[in-house]
Amino acid sequence: MSQTPNALSLRDRVAVVTGAGRGIGAATSQMLARAGAHVALLDRDAAGVTRTAEAIGLAGGEALPFTNDITDSFAVERTLDRVMEEWGRLDVLVNNAGELREAPLDDLTDDDLEESLDINLRGTLVVTRAAVPLMMARGSGRVLSAASMSTRIGAVGLTAYAASKAAVVGMTRTWARELGPRGITANAVAPGLIDSETTRAVPAGELEATLSRLPARRLGQPDEVAAVYLFLASDLASFINGAVVGVDGGLLLV
């Protein structure tokens, strides 16, 4: 497998990526593996994590797929036990898994709200809570979580999603303060319009109208988000803590 420049090398480090079965999670897993990391892949989609693991293996990397629910504390702890048995350490956590329920406020159901908060907020908390002690044992680590530009632009129909992602930002900044003195940084990445199943579900006219005003004039690619995760996981980002990095093509300028 071709390696990234030494400054971005994650050789012999161990990463856990949630939501690794497709899209940004799959792209991030593969990019971390190209940088030399051993990668544990978590997703509810067994076929998806298997595909990602196979792609990493075919390229010469090392990955283990796990099918579980990140809101299940016991299942998450059991998975991380397996990671420790296999590789003996944990250096990077990428909380990428997410759930988007789109509905205007007057159509928003309790189920929509519960599902968004359960996956995006509680799932991120459960996995991070289980992973941090393993990082603390080494005195170093990176906790990276998926936020969203929807928390800053007030996207129509995304009340539940934006609320859950705003909570992720709040947790990230709290973790940065709590964990920074212990050698662990916590940062968030906030994608904008990325080429994904979710974005392709947006009505064509609405999407084209937004892209026509976006300075980049195009959708972002999963690899462009993955590259930011790689940078934040690397030694180059050791002095970045509590940040929210937008990957949005200038969406705030629209």
- Which amino acid, residue 81? D
pLDDT, position 155: 74
Q: Is pLDDT of 4 > 60?
A: no
On whether residue 108 sits in a domain, the answer given is yes
Cα 121 to Cα 132: distance, rounded to the nearest angstrom: 16
28 part of a folded domain: yes
Q: What is the pLDDT of residues 33-49, one digit of tens each?
A: 999 999 999 999 999 99
What confidence tens digit (pLDDT) does each residue in 181-193 have?
Answer: 999 999 999 999 9
pLDDT category at 5 given cuts 50, 70, 90 is low
- CATH assignment at residue 143: 3.40.50.720
DSSP label at residue 19: S
Whether residue 202 lies inside any domain: the answer is no
Q: Which tens digits make up the pLDDT trace of 89-108? A: 999 999 999 887 777 888 88
Q: How confident is residue 195, by pLDDT bands cut at 50, 70 and 90? A: very high
Q: Please, which pLDDT band fits residue 158 given cuts at 50, 70 and 90?
A: confident
What is the residue-wise DSSP string for 121-175? Answer: IIIHHHHHHHHHHHHHTTT-EEEEEE--THHHHT-TTBHHHHHHHHHHHHHHHHH
Of residues 32 and 100, more confidently modeled: 32
Whether 229 is a known active-site residue: answer no
Domain presence at residue 58: yes
Q: Could you tell me if residue 14 is inside a domain?
A: yes
Task: Give 201's pLDDT tier (boundaries 50, 70, 90).
Answer: low
Least-confidence region, from 58-62, 148-152, 241-245: 148-152
The active-site residue out of 66, 87, 161, 229 is 161
Give the pLDDT confidence score for residue 185 in this predicted structure.
Answer: 98
Q: Is residue 95 part of a domain?
A: yes
For residue 229, being part of any structural domain is answered with yes
Q: How confident is the model at residue 150 (pLDDT cuts 50, 70, 90)?
A: confident
84, amino acid identity:
M
Q: Looking at the predicted structure, is the pLDDT value of residue 198 above 80?
A: no
Q: Which distant-in-sequence residues (6+ apart) come within 8 Å of 6 by Cβ?
A: none
**Alpha-carbon gap, residue 44 to 74, rounded angstroms:** 15
Q: How many domains does the chain have?
A: 1
In a domain, 62, yes or no: yes
Q: Taking residues 119-126, report their average pLDDT.
A: 96
What is the domain extent for residue 114? 6-193+225-245
* Residue-level pLDDT at 179: 98
pLDDT(134) > 60: yes
